């Protein structure tokens, strides 16, 4: 597991270093909740209706998204910690790593692969790994359908009982998503084991959701799920009478037959999030389940409620000090430009507004690494560049990806300033 995490961290580092077309988000989530079944636990998700406890769930995750041409990769990794306040249970500790690759084949078709691993440790340890190729069809700009199929591996070790277990599941998923308007997002998914096909009813997990997005960035989502698992068992009767069927058994004789049992889990949930500001988001969720089994009585009802806070930010990994992001602001009648630059040398603005005279308009250092100047400009679109001068060396600085640039016709890029 450590090797997987290390590999993921290295992948992130490599991605950051090699391309400017990337975005990284670090997110710290912490939530407290109460659950009556660990199946509803956000990290554990293992059936234990007896584990009724309050819990805290804290995660530190980083995601880097890289794209170029029709390729995109997101790499997510981080650490998870979950103390269960039931004193008999050790805290859960672990981590996860996900890699999601997509290649846009045509304007309506995308191929990709999801792979990942998660590890948790308490009084036992569990490792999950999975790999799933996928194909996404954009039926319309706001409707997509995705099919994925692959394998998932689970290994389990209980330290106390010295139990070891290893399982492999070959799984499929069919997902549908539509945005009928900007506000509404509807989703549906059907998941199951490949070996149940084509008899889907022998085991599946169906999910549906409806989300509403408010103008201030808040969102509320309602979810519904139905899981169904069927298994066969042999029932032996000892003269109590056979089930209806043919041939009829004689009186008093012992007979056995196979019957199909169906377990169903119904799940209902609601989750919501409210952005407090650009970094902090409050969120809350509640979910209930109803388990019905023909073989075991009584039916089981469980729930979980939780709420918490998420802190997210985009760290600056700009190793290249020569990449700049000029910020323009209207200051009374003049345009003020501010540039954060930590390298050496003096900076000059050169562009349409000074007839591209290389002598340039000097930027003065206002404070540590912050340079600025003001220009009087009339309405229009102006192209410009920033020239760095150090001794006898002069060079044009590159612009960051979030700056509006156009080709200059000479094989380079100019930034564009729009003045109203």
Partner 1 sequence: METYKKIIWALCTALLLVTVAGTSYAQEGNSGLVQRAQELGVESALLAELQSGLEAENISEQHFRKIVGTAIAMSEQSLPANMVIQKALEGISKGISGDRIIPVVNHIQQSVVKSAGVIDEWMGRPEIQQMINRTEGGMAQDEFRTKMTKVTSKSIIRNVSPEAVSNILSQISDQSLLAIATPKDIIVAMGILPALPNASSQPDASGKLIVRALKGGFGADELQRLPAALRAAQMRSQLPAASVIEGVARQMEGNIPAKQILQNLFNGNIGGGPPGNIPGLGNIPDRGNKSGQK
Question: Looking only at residues 47 through 106 of this chain, which bind partner 1 when binding is defined by CB under 8 A?
Answer: 47, 59, 61-63, 65, 67, 72, 74, 76, 78, 80, 96, 98, 100, 102, 104
337 binds partner 1 (CB under 8 A): no
Block residue for tokens 């394998």:
151
C-alpha triplet 239, 240, 241: angle, nearest 5°: 90
Toward partner 1, which CB reaches closer, 154 or 321? 154
| Burial readout 85-100 (b: 16 or more C-beta within 10 A, e: otherwise) | eeeebeebebbbbbbb
Q: How far is the CB of 142 from partner 1 (least distance, A)?
A: 4
Binding residues among 339-368 for partner 1 as defined by CB under 8 A: 350, 352, 355-358
Q: How are the residues of the chain apportioned to helix, strand and coil, as percentages rounded to the nearest 5?
A: 5, 65, 30
x/- letters, 141..170, toward partner 1 (CB under 8 A): xx-x-----x-x-x------------x-x-
Length reported for the chain: 420
Under the criterion CB under 8 A, does residue 266 sit at the interface with partner 1?
no
Instruction: Rule CB under 8 A: say whether 186 interacts with partner 1.
Output: no
Site membership for partner 1, residue 215 (CB under 8 A): yes
Does residue 376 belong to the site contacting partner 1 (CB under 8 A)?
A: no
Distance CA 258, CA 253 (A): 17
User: Binder to partner 1 among 245, 379, 391, 392 (CB under 8 A)?
Assistant: 379
Residue 180: what are its φ and ψ, rounded to 5°? -65, -25
Q: Tell me if 227 contacts partner 1 by CB under 8 A.
A: yes
Q: Answer yes or no: are the C-beta atoms of 11 and 63 closer than 8 Å.
A: no
Give me the least distance between CB of 160 and partner 1, in Å please.
21
- Those residues with Cβ within 8 angstroms of residue 362's Cβ, 6 or more apart along the chain or in another chain: 346, 347, 348, 373
Whole-angstrom Cα distance, residue 294 to residue 401? 59
Question: What is the radius of gyration, based on Cα positions, of the chain?
Answer: 29
Q: Find the binder of partner 1 among 4, 5, 39, 242 (CB under 8 A).
A: 39
Among 5, 12, 15, 29, binds partner 1 (CB under 8 A): 29
- Identify the residue among 12, 116, 347, 363 touching partner 1 (CB under 8 A): 116
Q: Which two tokens stand for residue 302?
A: 């469980």
Minimum CB distance to partner 1 smaller for 231 or for 257: 231
**Tokens (6 digits) for 369:** 């690494």
**Nearest distance in Å: CB 66, partner 1:** 9
Q: How many residues bind partner 1 (CB under 8 A)?
A: 105
**Binder among 4, 12, 55, 192 for partner 1 (CB under 8 A):** 192
Compute CA 375 distance to the chain's CA centroid, rounded to the nearest angstrom: 43
Residue 61 or 375 having the CB closest to partner 1: 61
């Amino acid at each position: 597991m450590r090797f997987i995490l290390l590999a993921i961290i290295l992948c992130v580092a490599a991605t950051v270093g090699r391309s400017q077309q990337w975005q990284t988000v670090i997110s710290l989530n912490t939530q407290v909740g109460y659950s009556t079944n660990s199946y509803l636990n956000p990290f554990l998700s293992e059936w234990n209706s007896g584990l009724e406890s309050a819990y805290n769930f804290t995660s530190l995750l980083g995601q880097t998204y890289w794209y170029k041409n029709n390729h995109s990769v997101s790499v997510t990794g981080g650490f998870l910690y979950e103390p269960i306040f039931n004193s008999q249970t050790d805290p859960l500790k672990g981590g996860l790593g996900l890699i999601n690759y997509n290649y846009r084949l045509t304007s309506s078709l995308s191929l990709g692969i999801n792979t990942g691993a998660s590890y948790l440790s308490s009084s036992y340890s569990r490792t999950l790994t999975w790999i799933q190729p996928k194909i996404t069809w954009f039926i319309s700009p706001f409707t997509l359908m995705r099919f994925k199929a692959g394998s998932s591996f689970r290994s389990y070790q209980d330290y106390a009982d010295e139990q070891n277990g290893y399982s492999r599941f070959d799984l499929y998923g069919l997902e549908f998503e539509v945005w009928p308007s900007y506000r509404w997002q509807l989703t549906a998914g059907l998941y199951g084991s490949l070996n149940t096909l084509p008899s889907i009813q022998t085991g599946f997990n169906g999910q549906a959701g409806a989300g509403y997005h408010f103008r201030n960035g808040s969102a509320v989502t309602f979810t519904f799920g139905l899981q169904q698992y069927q298994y066969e068992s042999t029932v032996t009767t000892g003269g109590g009478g056979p089930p209806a069927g043919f041939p009829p058994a004689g009186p008093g004789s012992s007979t056995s037959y196979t019957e199909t049992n169906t377990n169903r889990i119904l799940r209902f949930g609601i989750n919501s999030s409210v952005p407090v500001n650009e970094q902090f988001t409050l969120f809350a969720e509640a979910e209930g389940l109803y388990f019905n089994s023909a073989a075991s009585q009584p039916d089981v009802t469980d729930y979980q409620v939780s709420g918490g806070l998420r802190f997210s930010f985009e760290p600056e990994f700009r190793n290249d000090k020569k990449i700049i992001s000029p910020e323009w602001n209207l200051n009374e009648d003049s345009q003020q430009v501010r540039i954060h630059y930590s390298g050496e040398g003096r900076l000059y603005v050169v562009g349409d507004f000074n007839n591209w005279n290389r002598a340039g308009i000097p930027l003065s250092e206002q404070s540590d690494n912050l340079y600025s100047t003001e220009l009087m400009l009339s309405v229009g679109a102006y192209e410009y560049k920033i020239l760095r001068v150090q001794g006898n060396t002069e060079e044009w600085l590159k612009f960051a990806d979030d700056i509006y640039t156009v080709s200059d016709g000479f094989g380079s890029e100019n930034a564009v300033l729009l003045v109203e």
